[in-house]
Amino acid sequence: MKRLPLDDSFKVNRNPVTLREIVLDKLRTAIMNFQLLPGDRLVERDLCELLGVSRTSVREALRHLESEGLVEFADAKGPRVAIITLEDATEIYELRCVLEGLIVQLFTLNAKAKDIRALEKALAENRKALEEGELQQVIDSVQKFYDVLLEGAGNRTAATQLRQLQARISYLRATSVSQANRRGASNQEMERIVEAIKSGDPLAAHQASVDHVRAAAKVALDYLKSKQDDNAKVRPIVAPIALKEPRIGR
């Protein structure tokens, strides 16, 4: 058999997109797990050494995290982990009440049997993660639950709006779930959402969703208040008015 020469096609090419995604995921996870805290300076040289990658990969990841609201370039000293203020968090939770309440209503009206089965599975995985998993596993399981809701609701615009906030929502979710008094209640509230959906009652599902967000908000905002100015005030999260007669039929 004649030996064929090894040419350039044999070379292993590093995929810069894949590398960038890996760096991005590492930094995002470090922020979510509180290994990097709000206000921490993100020195490119140090991150390059820790991650074993080039400055270009780190710089691209930091810019992406800036677009997600997790990193900010606040001054001439360079990037830092974004500080989500009490006011920022309150506004995010208010928007969650509106968008997630709508998503849950639409899911109740439009979801197919397979979507509901997927939601029940995601709920069970969340329960297991809360009992056994690390914080990141809990956050991932909650995100999977909401991914099922977004897919089954059938409103791409509302889904897009929520996903644009996803990184900051996940950070605040990590803040609330990491508190000892929150883990058990969280899954029970999600279970009430699922039960309302299964009963076919969009208004009950909406209310269960709003109650879930408001309960999470109270824990996270109380924690943020304790870390900020003692004079900071936490305004109540106002629940949106549920649609009495949703215009979208089954």
Q: What is the pLDDT of residues 196-221, one digit of tens each?
A: 999 999 999 999 999 999 999 999 99
| Mean residue pLDDT across the chain | 86
pTM of the model: 0.79
CB-CB contact of 189 with 212 (8 Å):
yes
- Banded pLDDT at 245 (limits 50, 70, 90): very low
Confidence band for 237, pLDDT divided at 50, 70 and 90:
low
Query: Could you tell me the domains of the chain?
Result: 14-81 (1.10.10.10), 86-227 (1.20.120.530)
∠ CA 140-97-95, nearest 5°, is 90
Task: Tell me which amino acid residue 114 is.
Answer: K
* Residue 159 token pair: 């889904």
Q: Tell me: the pLDDT tens digits for 132-179? A: 878 889 899 999 999 999 999 999 999 999 988 989 999 999 888 887
- Classify the phi-psi angles of 133: left when phi > 0, otherwise alpha if psi is within -120 to 50, otherwise beta: beta
